[in-house]
Amino acid sequence: MIKKILYELYIYFFLNNFFIKIKSNKNYIENYNFNFQNISFEDLTHLKTILFSKKYYDKKFIDEKNYYYHSFDWLIVAKKIGGAKSITISKKQIINWCNKKYSKNLFVWSPKVTAKRVVNLIYNYDFYAISSDKCEKKIFHRLIFEHYLILEASLKFEKIENISIELIKIYILLKIIYKKDIENVLIIMKSQIYKSIDTNGYHKSYNPSYQAEFINQLHEIKNILLYFDFKIPNEIDYQLNNMSSAFNNFFHKDNSIALFNGSNNANYSQYKKIYQQINDIRPKKLDKVLNGICIYSDKSKKIFFDIVRPTNKQINQNLHSGTLSFEMSCLGEKIVTNCGSIEKRYEKKPEYLRYSAAHSTLILNNTNISELSKNSYKRIPKKILFDHIENDDEVIWIASHNGYHLNYSRIVKRKLKISKKKNLIVGEDSIILSKYNTKKILYNIRFHLTPNCSSLLTNNKKSVLIKTSQNQSWIFKSTGILSLEDSICIKDGKKIEQTKQIVITNYVDVSNKIENWSFNKV
């Protein structure tokens, strides 16, 4: 907290009282004609709208919803469009921004936004500065140097665990540009790699989108170090292989990314590019992991199972309350899903998609398994247990969590039996009394279907007939009473699609409760 206050004071003083002069004998690389971008994850259509906005850099544009203005991401699309008009607009907007400075706004000058802005200034320098005179270039050089000094200060004031891999990338590049020693930053990088990636090669957010972006940042760091003839730390090459092998597993049988902890397919084409870069790396087997996402795959079907135990509130800031949820795909089509996640630029409050009810799992009394906060979580299950059994015919996953122990004195347990020889998954959900409690509690077990599925509830309300758009036929059976309810699915991070969910609803009292169910392709 003290470090944060000191950093904020530094920013305010620096921007309001300090005038930067770059001496004639300046010790830095004069031309910023560098672009180490591997893959861009930006929405070019959205950025094009920003680039040509007439209300650009209004004084009101000072909070997170205007991130894309202050990050200078619009320079990416300006460069792609090209031409004299785009160059003129870009230079004008940069200079307009310099004149406003936003010196009293700490969001605009937060390390995350500052780093993104300066990396865009450097990566696109060859575009917007190509026809600039000496005076304009001086403004650009001074602006980049200003960002360097501010980010240099953030290294001292920011907690190490809060320094993202993207920040580390720009620290390395700026220190090289200004001919400073990078050893300290490389030490921080190694520490962050260790803290951010588990032994299975998962990014500890357990968000496939973050996994892809982290891999991309490591590629860019490697490109920077190679270009300037620095030795590549062993950690980079090892984790590129380790994370890539894990990432190759996150694709469903319909080639979409699994929807866990904030992931979506908004950047699907970029994910495929990463996959193509690493498609010679064999996917590792991840059906026995003790933390993260369990994954089973055979020739026809693929199943994902959430047993995530978060360890860091910064890394897990987009954690979803989806413990023991699963997704299933078969023969090129996804059948069972979580609701997904929507990009913040398309909706102001997408928080409801983090709730347990938006996941294919069991919930008690319509409450979340984990207590969520706006940018992280307040409470998670203290104990998540997992066991793996395998024989010639099937893989069996058995997992439990105590997320409802405190409020409802219950342990939730889910057993999944996955047939190796048939397209069949058999489930058993148990609600176990952990402490005597006479309260009668409502429970719902939800199975969200994808929009490509049509469904029909049978007269006895014990089964649901499912047909996919490619004419797969499935039958869902249960020992409990079923209903079909409306649901939504956001696959691409933008479009909300209407779909259905199968719901088992009942009450549990002082006795333990077991619900059996199955998905069977017929």
pLDDT at 425: 98
How many residues are given for the chain? 522
pLDDT at 22: 44
Task: For 86-153, give the DSSP string.
Answer: HHHHHHHHHHHHHHHTTTT-TTTTSHHHHHHHHHHHHHTHHHHTTT--HHHHHHHHHHHHHHHHHHHH
Residue 11: C-alpha distances to residues 112, 399, 461 (Å):
14, 48, 63
Which of 211, 201, 199, 128 shows the shortest CA–CA distance to 165?
Answer: 211
CA-CA distance, 35 to 65, in Å (whole number)?
27
**pLDDT tens by residue, 324-340:** 999 999 999 999 999 99
pLDDT at 28: 66
Q: In what order do the strands lie in the sheet with 513-521?
A: 384-390, 394-401, 410-419, 424-433, 513-521, 473-478, 463-468, 453-457
**pLDDT tens by residue, 16-44:** 665 444 443 356 666 677 889 888 888 77
Kindly indicate the confidence band of residue 303, based on its pLDDT and cuts at 50, 70 and 90.
very high
Give Cα 416 distance to the centre of its chain. 26
Percent of the residues in the chain that have a pLDDT greater than 90, as a whole number? 64
Residue 38 · residue 169 · CB < 8 Å: no
CA-CA distance, 40 to 28, in Å (whole number)?
27
Residue 310 · residue 380 · CB < 8 Å: yes
* pLDDT over threshold 70, residue 160: yes
**pLDDT tens by residue, 219-267:** 999 999 999 999 999 999 999 999 999 999 999 999 999 999 999 998 8
pTM: predicted TM-score of the whole model, two decimal places = 0.91
Task: For 398-456, give the DSSP string.
Answer: EEEE-TTHHHH-EEEEEEEEEESSSSEEEEEEEEEESS-----EEEEEEEEEPTTEEEE
Which domains are assigned to the chain?
A: 2-158 (no CATH), 286-521 (2.70.98.70)
* pLDDT over threshold 80, residue 347: no
* pLDDT over threshold 90, residue 366: yes
**pLDDT tens by residue, 493-505:** 888 999 999 999 9
Please count the other Cβ atoms lying within 10 Å of the Cβ belonging to residue 311: 12
Least confident of 54-63, 267-276, 411-420, 492-501: 54-63
Average pLDDT for the chain: 89
**pLDDT tens by residue, 434-473:** 887 778 999 999 999 999 999 999 999 999 999 999 999 9
CA-CA distance, 290 to 386, in Å (whole number)?
6
* pLDDT over threshold 60, residue 56: no
Which tokens sit at 95? 């200079």
Question: Which phi and psi (to 5°) does residue 489 adopt?
Answer: -140, 130
Average pLDDT (201-209) is 95
* pLDDT over threshold 70, residue 60: no
* pLDDT over threshold 60, residue 396: yes
* pLDDT over threshold 70, residue 7: no
Rg, Å, the chain Cα set: 26
CA-CA distance, 283 to 69, in Å (whole number)?
38
pLDDT at 110: 85
**pLDDT tens by residue, 165-180:** 999 999 999 999 999 9
Percent of the residues in the chain that have a pLDDT greater than 70, as a whole number? 89
Higher local confidence (pLDDT), 365 or 374: 365
